[in-house]
Amino acid sequence: MCGIIGSMFHDPTHRVPVEQALRQLHHRGPDDHGTFFDTHVVLGHTRLSILDLSPLGRQPMSYQDGRFWITFNGEIYNYLELRQELAAAGYSFISQSDTEVLVAAYARWGKACVKKLRGMFAFGIWDRKEQHLFLARDRVGEKPFYYWYGEQNFYFASELKALLLLLPHTPELDPAAIDLYLHYQYVPEPRTPLKGVYKLPAAHFLFMNVASGPPRPEQYWSLEDAEPVEGDPVSLIRQELEQSIELTLRSDVPVGLALSGGIDSGAIAALAAPKYKDTLHAFSVGYPGRPAYDERKQAEQLAQKLKLPFHDIELRTEEFVDFFPELVMLTDDPIADIAVYGHYAVMKLAAEHGVKVMLAGIGGDELFWGYTWVVEAVRLTRQKQHKLQNSLHTRWVWRIWEQLTNTPLYQRFAHSYKMPKFMSSFFKQGFELGKIIPHSPQQAVFYDLLPDFIHALHYSKNFYTRGFSDQLSNRNPFRPFELQLNGLRNIPLHICQLLFNTWLTSNSLALGDRVSMASSVETRFPLLDYQLIELVIGLHQSYPDHISGHKTWFKSAVEYLLPEETLLRPKLGFQPPVHEWMTTIIERYFDWLMDGYLAQLKVVDVDYLQKIRHDFEKRWRIIFLLYKLVLLEVWYRQVVLQESVCV
C-alpha cells in the first residue's frame, strides 16, 4: 500500500512539483519515497512497507535492464505463484517484493498481465523503449486512481490533494457532479466534483504516449465475464473463502481485523485466526452509554471465543465535531457517509497498536444479496421490462402515473403514519407502480427505492441558486443507473454490477481506503477477491438465489464457524448516532455555508439557507441535505484550496 503520482508531458523542460505532491501522500507511505525522471515522464512514490521490508522493495522500481519503470500502489496477493510461473519462463528476481513480480509480469504479458493479477492495485509502468505509459486499476476499485489531461500534459495520483498540486490551475466545480453528490452522498465514478478531473474506472487500463489524444480507458473485466458454475454453492463458496483468506494474510508486518458483531467480519475472523502465523488482533468501536447499535459486546464475545486480543474505542460526539474538518480533508473525496468517523477510529486504533494491515468485511452484502432494496430493485426492474413490451398507449398511461406518484404531496401521503391503513396501502401501491417506469424507458429501478435519494430528488434544488439549477438536466440524478432494458436477459447480474459501480466503489471502498491510509494502515477485503466474485456470480446464473433470503449461501458456508446469534443478527456495522452527529455538525459549521465558497461560487442559495436555519432539526429531509452541503463546503476549503482551518 503506497501513494503514487506521475506525469507525462510534451515539453522536456517542463517542471513537475513532484516533491511537493509526494509530501501530500506521506501518510500513504511514511517508510520511504522516491522519484524517477525521464525525458517526457516523471514518476513518484511513497512507500508503506508490507512485503520485503528491505531497500530492494523501493519504488519507483525498474526491472533489471531499466526498460520498464513502475510506481505501484496495492498488493498482488498471488505474487508467489506468478513469480514461480515467471521464473519457469526464464525471468529472474533480486527482491522478495510483489512489485518486482508485477513489472516482470508486464514485461512478459503486456497489458494482458492485469488478467493474471489477484489483488488490489493502481499503477503506472513506463516503457522507455516504446515511450508509452501503461496505467491500470484493480477489478472493483479498491485502490484509487485520479487523473487530469490537458493539451500538453497528463497527470495522475493516488489522491486528489496531490493531483491538484501538479495541475497548472485549480479546476472549476462540475455542476452535474455536485448534483450527483447531493443525491447519492458521493460522486459516482468516473466523475469527481471537479471539471476535467476523473477517476480511472475499476477494471480499466490506459495506454498513453506523448502523442496521445484524450485518455480512452479500456475495460478488461466485468461481472458479465463470470461463466455459469455448476455444483454445490455452499461447499464451493467455503473452499474459495478459505483460499481468499490465505492469500490476504500474506504480509511481513502485523495483521489485524476490523470486527463488528455481524456475520461478514465474524466469518473473516473465524477463518483467518487459525491460518495466521502470529496472533490476529481485533478492533472495534462503540458509543457512550452502549446504545442498542453498539456492537462491542457481541464483537468482544466472538473475539474471546476465537482467542483473539480485543481492542475498542468509544466515539464521542464532541470529538467527532471538533475533528470534522480534518476528517473531511483526510477522506479526500466528499463522501457524506456518517460512518466514516467509526472507520477512521478503528484504523487509528490499529495503528497505535503497531498493526499495519487490517482485514475488513466490505463486499459481503453486495455479493450475497445483503440489501433488501437491491432484491426489490431486481423484482421491479423485471416488471418494468415487461411493461415496456406493452403498447405505446399503455406506456403513456404509466408515464402519467409516474409523474403523479413522484410529486411531493403524493410522497407525503404515501409515507404518512396518520393515514388510515386502507388509504396508506393504496398510496404505497401506487408509489411502487410509479417506480416501474421512472423518467426513462431504459433506466433500472434502483436508487429511487431509497428514501434519502427521493428526498434529495424533491428538495435538493431548493438549495441551489437559479443559475446553478439552469446548468442541470432533470435526467442527471438517474444517469448512473441507466440500462438498455430492451433485450436485457440477466437483470440480477446487471443490478449487482450497478451496485458495484456506484455504492461499493465510490462510497465504501473509497472511504475505506482513505481513512485507513490516513493512519498509514493497509485495508484488505477478502470478500472482494475476484475469483470469489466470479464464483458467486457464476452460481447466481446457474441457481438464481436473490429471492432465497438474506445472504443464504454465505451464512450456510460459514455456519460451522460462528455462533447462532452471530448468524441471525442483523447487519449494523459501525453505526453511529446519526441524527445527533449530523445536527451537531450543522450547528457548528452552518456559518461556513452562509459566507463560504459555495455561496461565492453561486452554488447555494443563501436566502434559502437563512430561511431554514432555525427549524432544520425537525426535518430529516433537510438535515441530511444540509449535512452534505456543510461537508462539501469543508471539502472545498480543505482539499481543493488546501486552506489551514481553525475551528
What value does the mean pLDDT take over residues 425-446?
A: 59
Q: Residue 423: which pLDDT band, with cuts at 50, 70 and 90? A: low
Same domain (yes/no): 167, 282: no
Residue 407 in this model has a pLDDT that exceeds 70: no
Amino acid of residue 576: P
Residue 393 in this model has a pLDDT that exceeds 50: no
Q: Residue 129: which pLDDT band, with cuts at 50, 70 and 90? A: very high
Same domain (yes/no): 556, 596: no
User: CB–CB of 436/465 below 8 Å?
Assistant: no
Q: Residue 571: which pLDDT band, with cuts at 50, 70 and 90? A: low
Tell me the three-class secondary structure of 354-375, residue by residue.
Answer: CCCEEECCCCHHHHCCCCHHHH
Q: Residue 82: which pLDDT band, with cuts at 50, 70 and 90? A: very high
| Euclidean distance between CA atoms 109 and 136, whole angstroms | 14
Same domain (yes/no): 115, 217: yes
What value does the mean pLDDT take over residues 522-540?
A: 97
User: CB–CB of 380/438 below 8 Å?
Assistant: no
Helices (H), 358-481: 364-367, 372-388, 392-405, 408-414, 421-436, 451-459, 466-469
Owning domain of residue 452: 372-488
Residue 398 in this model has a pLDDT that exceeds 60: no
Residue 441 in this model has a pLDDT that exceeds 80: no
Among 488, 507, 529, give the residue marking a domain's end. 488
Torsional class of 54: left (φ above 0), alpha (ψ -120 to 50), beta (otherwise): beta
| Euclidean distance between CA atoms 462 and 612, whole angstroms | 11
Count structural domains, the chain: 4
570 cis-preceded (ω within 30 degrees of 0): no
Residue 503 in this model has a pLDDT that exceeds 50: yes
User: What pLDDT is stored for residue 278 in this prediction?
Assistant: 93
Same domain (yes/no): 420, 506: no
Same domain (yes/no): 131, 265: no
Least confident of 35-39, 137-141, 448-452: 448-452
What value does the mean pLDDT take over residues 554-577?
A: 81
Same domain (yes/no): 26, 69: yes
**Domain-embedded: residue 478:** yes
**Burial of residue 243, with CB atoms counted within 10 A of its CB: 0-12 exposed, 13-18 middle, 19 or more buried:** middle
Residue 377 in this model has a pLDDT that exceeds 70: yes
What value does the mean pLDDT take over residues 537-543?
A: 94
User: What pLDDT is stored for residue 548 in this prediction?
Assistant: 78
Same domain (yes/no): 76, 168: yes
Q: How far apart are the first and last CA of the chain?
A: 32
User: What pLDDT is stored for residue 469 in this prediction?
Assistant: 95
User: What pLDDT is stored for residue 392 in this prediction?
Assistant: 46
User: What pLDDT is stored for residue 399 in this prediction?
Assistant: 60
Q: Residue 212: which pLDDT band, with cuts at 50, 70 and 90? A: confident
Q: Residue 208: beta bridge partners? A: 133
Residues 6 or more apart whose CB falls under 8 angstroms from that of 219 comprise 201, 203, 204
In the block, residue with C-alpha cell 497527470: 155
User: CB–CB of 4/146 below 8 Å?
Assistant: no
On average, the pLDDT of the chain sits at 90
User: What pLDDT is stored for residue 408 in this prediction?
Assistant: 64
Helices (H), 52-97: 79-88
| Euclidean distance between CA atoms 74 and 123, whole angstroms | 8
- Summarised one tens digit per residue, pLDDT across range 29-71 is 999 999 999 999 999 999 999 999 999 999 999 987 899 999 9
Same domain (yes/no): 376, 512: no
User: What pLDDT is stored for residue 429 in this prediction?
Assistant: 47
Same domain (yes/no): 309, 404: no
User: What pLDDT is stored for residue 12 in this prediction?
Assistant: 80
| Whole-structure pTM value | 0.92
**Domain-embedded: residue 647:** no
Residue 362 in this model has a pLDDT that exceeds 90: yes
Among 203, 221, 239, give the residue marking a domain's end. 221
- Summarised one tens digit per residue, pLDDT across range 580-604 is 999 999 999 999 999 999 999 999 9
**Domain-embedded: residue 182:** no
More confident residue, 390 or 458: 458
